[in-house]
Structure 1
């Protein structure tokens, strides 16, 4: 194939003044929103800081819920997935049916209780402080580790391609998100999430529009993708194969469980339901996320196909321009879009907005759990004036943000632990969903069963998550080519150390190659089975009178009068 790619312009690539203006403007706007709500709510207490004064409407909360789950890892990872593995991951959009289940089954229950901490509810439901502490502790740890990953991973990908200093990315994202969350509370988090989600959509849309203009048409992008098995009906596998990284059944089943877990069992979501002005707004907020999520995923996957069509015949990874597949989008932006003033800055803002929204939501939720489950129980803090209580929660939020930044700086020295930290969230969410199911729908379960089930479910799913790390199992990339690269380009030799394939392993070791999509499913099943079994073996509820409002309305009729 004739050489048709020229990368000489990369030698002069750099950020222009317009790029820094766009990037700095997004950070300044986020901070300004925090300052606005800090001034507006300066004389109010924790109800305003953690609950938004119960006055939030459906649109900002819906966008905030979505922004808190679509992180920078998604913005970078989805295009890389389409480029190197194909568009089969798009089927994650089918899991949006989980939103309808959450809206009908869980949202009315949570709204009725007006919960600030979902783990305090678990303590009341099982009449045991240990249940709330175990569940809340797992949430705090998982969120802290996830925030560190969300800060560090995008900063590393950006620094390796754009030469934007990694320490600036970490400090700018981590501290600014922590500051506006600490001073502005839930309202600041929600409205900055709206801004950052719009920036993410704008950034991806700009890349898609410019990419389609350069390639020529969507039809040409799709033709190239089909020819190279990135798209088309031939790439989809529909069977349920839990040891295979991606099949349609794996993706849908795993993502339905994870979305159910996030939107019905996580502090971040439940706190927002309780902050809304009416149940109708809560319904709409959950359902409204569906089209926006599909739009974001579709834009991200289309971006990957456009990049593949652009570099057909000269893959930047095989050619040695990048060292990780997650760097493909930053590389494309700096290679093809850097001559347009402000567009690289918009892309950088898009990536960092994904980090900001996830961190601020996590930090605010961590502060809520810590205040409600720990500090509010201490007489010294319980007697404080409302404004002083709010000040304590602000320092808690800031402290969690600073801690996440410190962990992000340490992440560069811990290697594969970074990947393990990212998996920890998935390993916790499935078991937490099982605990919520037992609390709402299984009145016979008790605190012993729930605690043992939660610990066992998390431990089992975590053990399976580290299997690929231990055995060096990595997903195979689809074939690429360097035949159209410049003739004077020195192409590195392919590595002789090929990753271990699942097919090469023997049972029972092979079971540790369980697809990451099934970690949450496994954790949920183990927690349910162990929790129910232990509850039955330890006398169930032991005739303890259960308050009717602590179980789901559908099972209240089965309780003794």
Structure 2
């Protein structure tokens, strides 16, 4: 069964994107944060059920999985290479992959919004623990599914054989083969995939609307805004943001594999933001001008690096070396040409000709967020050094307890009135929501 040009549902992919985006934008605009939280809760349940269902049918349809993945070099987790341009190593996951997830769990606007709906700090800590537990469970299940899928197609890769056109079609194609005749299984799995998309989009739309309203709209409208008017403004922002998301989705599909692209693009904001917050709680010498200037410069530098690296990629100056993929066991060995897949047998060849681009442009996408944070901290410290005469004492409680012993009395101040008012107002809001 071919998936060329048409999605597994029988409808054009672009039509599905428009429908899903419209539904997500509608319920986010009408229901707000409360709707987003409740839909996320139910959608997560569906995602779990769909993953477990695929896992059960996958194990039932597979044999010798462990030996197959070992022979195919899919369990090479002890590659301790320190080369930052190598895509997947032990250190890229332990260091590089950890950085964006720390940011995602603790600093993203969508996450912080949900934390602020909780009444106490203890509840926030419990929410983070549950989040980590659920996320780790999903990642483990996804890794197991990856092993099962590779084992199933070890000798006949459907992408090389022309059965599918993109890597993202592999999971639906696999489910159709192993459980397509079982009523409800494929529909449940497809629903789980849609739920994952809806959950991400709705959280992003709601957080973006809150930021734009609070940081921009309220600054330009000097008069007092009624609650009803604020609701209308937030809905309009959600609708506009939803249309922009829809437009961007048609561009993204032309830019290559989703995971590297997603991690690289989000690092433009995530990296400098992570460095900004880390500086705020760990680096006393970082002042406001340094933090602001460093974040802006890091974002610009990160964006330029990603754009240039994509240009190199499309010109084949940077070539991804994939693990071995075979079609020896296929009945029909018609190979679909894919310039990004350069390894069709048990050996990998670097097709890059001439001198390689500077290593910054070849950096593994797992390190992009960390690189952005480092650039922000370095540039921020340089700016802070030349503007240190404007430094004011900072309240000690704003720094992490880890560095309290290193703080001098001249650089810190006692808890001030401004911080006390912020803490009091937040406590009052939490009491009002009970």
Query: TM-score with structure 2 length normalisation?
Result: 0.82
Q: Which moved more, 1:499-508 or 1:401-410?
A: 499-508
- Bigger drift between 366-375 and 309-318 goes to 309-318
Does the CA-based 8 Å contact 1:502-1:510 persist in structure 2? no
> In structure 2, what is the Cα distance between the partners aligned to 1:440 and 1:502?
45
CA contact (8 A) 1:416 1:469 kept: no
| 1:223 maps to 2:64 | no
Q: Please, which of 380, 395, 402 is the counterpart of residue 243 of structure 2?
A: 402
Structure 1 residues 401 and 495, CA, compared in 2 at 3 Å: closer, same or farther? closer
SS of the aligned residue for 1:196 comes to helix
* SS of residue paired to 2:323: coil
The C-alpha deviation readout for 1:77-118, integer Å capped at 9, x for no partner, is xxxxxxxxxxxxxxxxxxxxxxxxxxxxxxxxxxxxxxxxxx
Offset of residue 163 of structure 1: 3.3
Q: Whose relative contact order is higher, 1 or 2, with alpha carbons under 8 Å and at least 6 apart?
A: 1
1:41-60 Cα shifts (integer Å, max 9, x gaps): xxxxxxxxxxxxxxxxxxxx
Q: Secondary structure at the match of 1:323?
A: coil
Instruction: Give 1:296's match in structure 2, choosing from 138, 141, 147.
Output: 138
Question: Whole-Å Cα distance in 2 between the matches of residues 325 and 178 of structure 1?
Answer: 27
Distance in 1 (CA, whole Å) between partners of 2:251 and 2:68 is 41
Give the distance between the partners of 1:496 and 1:246, measured in 2 at CA.
20
Q: Distance in 1 between matches of 2:154 and 2:25?
A: 42
Aligned length: 398
Where do 5+ consecutive residues of structure 2 fail to align? 343-348, 415-434
- The answer to whether the 8 Å contact 1:264/1:433 transfers is no
How far, CA to CA, are the matches of 1:168 and 1:339 in structure 2? 26
Quickly say closer, same or farther: Cα 1:415–1:429, change in 2 above 3 A: closer
Of 2, 5, 10, the match for 1:163: 10
Q: 1:560 aligns with which of 413, 417, 433?
A: 413
1:279 aligns with 2:124: no
Q: 1:429 to 1:223 in 2, by over 3 A?
A: same
Matches within 5 A, 1:160-309: 160-216=7-63, 220-231=64-75, 234=76, 236-309=78-151
Determine the structure 2 residue equivalent to 1:321: 163
State the match for 1:534 in structure 2.
Answer: 383
Contact 2:319–2:352 at 8 Å: present in 1 too? no
1:545 shift after superposition: 5.3
Shift in Å, 1:325: 2.3
The answer to which of 167-176 and 250-259 deviates more is: 167-176
CA distance in 1: counterparts of 2:252 and 2:80, whole angstroms: 37
Deviation at 1:401, TM superposition (A): 1.4
Query: Partners in 2 of 1:436 and 1:306 — Cα distance?
Result: 40
Q: Partners in 2 of 1:497 and 1:374 — Cα distance?
A: 42
Q: SS of 1:521's equivalent?
A: helix
For 1:498 and 1:275, the matched residues in 2 are separated by 46
Match of 2:430 in 1: none
The offset of 1:373, in angstroms, is: 0.6
Distance 2:16 2:336 in 1: 33
Q: Which residue of 1 aligns with 2:420?
A: none
Q: TM-score with structure 1 length normalisation?
A: 0.65
In structure 1, distance between residues paired with 2:81 and 2:215: 44
- Report how far residue 225 of structure 1 moved: 1.2
Query: Paired residue for 2:226?
Result: 385
Q: Distance in 2 between matches of 1:162 and 1:168?
A: 11
Deviates more, 1:247-256 or 1:357-366: 247-256
Encode CA deviations 1:286-306: one digit per residue, 9 max, x unaligned.
112222112111111211211
**Cα distance in 2 between the residues matched to 1:443 and 1:167:** 49
CA displacement at 1:482 relative to structure 2: 2.2
* Structure 1 residues 295 and 221: CA distance shift in structure 2, 3 A: same
SS of structure 2 residue aligned to 1:485:
coil
* More helix per residue: 1
Distance, in Å, in 2 between the alignment partners of 1:171 and 1:327 is 19
Tell me: CA distance 1:270–1:496, structure 2 relative to 1, closer, same or farther (3 Å).
Answer: closer
**In 2, Cα distance between the equivalents of 1:388 and 1:259?**
36
Could you tell me how far apart the structure 2 residues matched to 1:441 and 1:314 are? 51
1:275-322 CA-to-partner distances (Å, cap 9, x unmatched) read 102211101111122221121111112112112222232221221111
Aligned-pair distance for 1:162? 4.5
